[in-house]
Amino acid sequence: MPNSPLFSTYRGGENRVTSSMMAVFQRLELSLLERLLGAVAEDSALQLVAFVNQPSGAGPSTPDARMSAHFDYWFETKTALNALGAEQLAAHYKNMTAGAEHQRLFVVTPDPVRPAIIDSLNDDRVIWFNFRAMSDAIDEVMDEDNTFVGEQARFLLRELQTLFAEDGLLDFVDTVVVAARFAWGEYNTLGVYVCQPDRSFRPGLTHMGFYTHGAIQPKVAAILDQRSDPITFDNNTADALRAGSPIDQRIAEAIETSLEGGTRPPGQPYRVFVLSRSPEEGSVELATPIANTPASGGTFAWTMGQRYTRLAALTKPGVGTTLELKAAGG
């Protein structure tokens, strides 16, 4: 836990994180808080206080200046993945007045992607971001101008980032990159990744990349489906899956192709990922393959099994080597 007395009295999960975040917000200058929330919400028009010279008053009144504030911001914070509930979110949303321009419901979670239930409200005033985005926004506002952020505010914001890190709220990965000498061709043909039945992967993954020929290949696939139970590669299983959903049919095709080509022994169980094959299905095209450049200058592969990274780092402009990927936070 950060050593600052500001955080020392807060204990336990969401309450600690929320209380600490609000305590920092309370102590920031309004202009800095405005920039921070605007950055994390991707809304440059977000305004807490308005300063107007010679505003129009009632009748012939034209005062020299006016300073006004009118906003109502609500916050809901989760510290566990996939913890946001539709019923709770709907209840919070009822606190907002229909059409009120200066109201916002900020939802903060560690999830790597926007929870689908946010979109169900169909209201741009409901704003979701994760703790990584908040940390990145802190870096952004402090890098804008070294003289803009005072010493105390800088200390508090860095302490808040430390709190996020210590609670494991920043260290999420959403992409696994697999060694793919054989798997790269199979993916491009069938849109699947097949591996040992007991192979484990981190939770929360949304995408899969492929490392072969000394580089992370430029097509990063969205994970459309992954079965928790192994799938036996035999004709009976393929026939049963053929009668199912489009996802099932794709797995059936993979089984049939594998059996016909003799690439895997029949009757063996495997773990299967069904992956996107086009941008329409969710694939992401990188600007270029990301070439392996070991820090030692040697020839070690970037991964010989699987390695985790972030899609935001893979797609960051200018990332063309694994060293640049590391510097980008991947």
pLDDT tens digits, residue range 224-280? Answer: 999 878 999 999 999 999 999 999 999 999 999 999 988 899 999 999 999 999 999
Instruction: Name 137's Cβ contacts closer than 8 Å, sequence gap at least 6.
Output: 36, 39, 40
Contacts for 255-260: CB closer than 8 Å, 24+ residues apart: 255/231, 257/189, 257/190, 258/194, 258/233, 259/233, 259/234, 259/235
Whole-angstrom Cα distance, residue 85 to residue 82? 8
Tokens, residue 174: 């959403």
Q: What is the pLDDT of residue 260?
A: 92
Whole-angstrom Cα distance, residue 52 to residue 70? 14
Residue in the block written with tokens 């697999």: 178
Whole-angstrom Cα distance, residue 78 to residue 128? 11
Tokens, residue 47: 């305004």
Tokens, residue 227: 């079965």
Per this entry, what is the length of the chain? 330
195-200 average pLDDT score: 90
276-299 average pLDDT score: 86
The three-state secondary structure class of 287 is coil
Band (pLDDT 50/70/90 cuts) for residue 216 is very high
Q: What is the pLDDT of residue 10?
A: 45
The three-state secondary structure class of 56 is coil
Integer-rounded Cα radius of gyration of the chain: 25
Tell me which range, 138-142, 216-220, 314-318, is most confidently predicted by mean pLDDT.
Answer: 216-220
**125-168, pLDDT tens digit by residue?**
999 999 988 988 888 887 755 557 888 998 999 899 888 887 87
Whole-angstrom Cα distance, residue 64 to residue 124? 35
Q: What is the pLDDT of residue 287?
A: 93
Provide the sign of the torsion angle of the four alpha carbons 79, 81, 87, 92, taken in this order.
positive
Q: Annotate 190-201 with DSSP letters as a single string.
A: HSEEEE-TT---
297-311 average pLDDT score: 81
CB atoms inside a 10 Å sphere around CB 277: 20
Q: Annotate 81-96 with DSSP letters as a single string.
A: TT---HHHHHHHHTTS
Contacts for 63-71: CB closer than 8 Å, 24+ residues apart: 70/102, 71/47, 71/102, 71/103, 71/104
Band (pLDDT 50/70/90 cuts) for residue 64 is confident
The mean of the pLDDT values for the chain is 87
310 and 175 Cβ atoms separated by less than 8 Å: yes
Given a cut of 80, whether residue 292 has pLDDT beyond it is yes
Band (pLDDT 50/70/90 cuts) for residue 194 is very high
Q: Annotate 256-277 with DSSP letters as a single string.
A: HHHHHHTSS-TT-EEEEEEE--
Whole-angstrom Cα distance, residue 102 to residue 48? 9
State percent of the chain over pLDDT 70: 93
Band (pLDDT 50/70/90 cuts) for residue 329 is confident
Given a cut of 60, whether residue 13 has pLDDT beyond it is no
Given a cut of 80, whether residue 82 has pLDDT beyond it is yes
- Strands 175-179 and 207-212, by their bridges, are parallel
272 burial level (CB within 10 Å; 0-12, 13-18, 19+) = buried
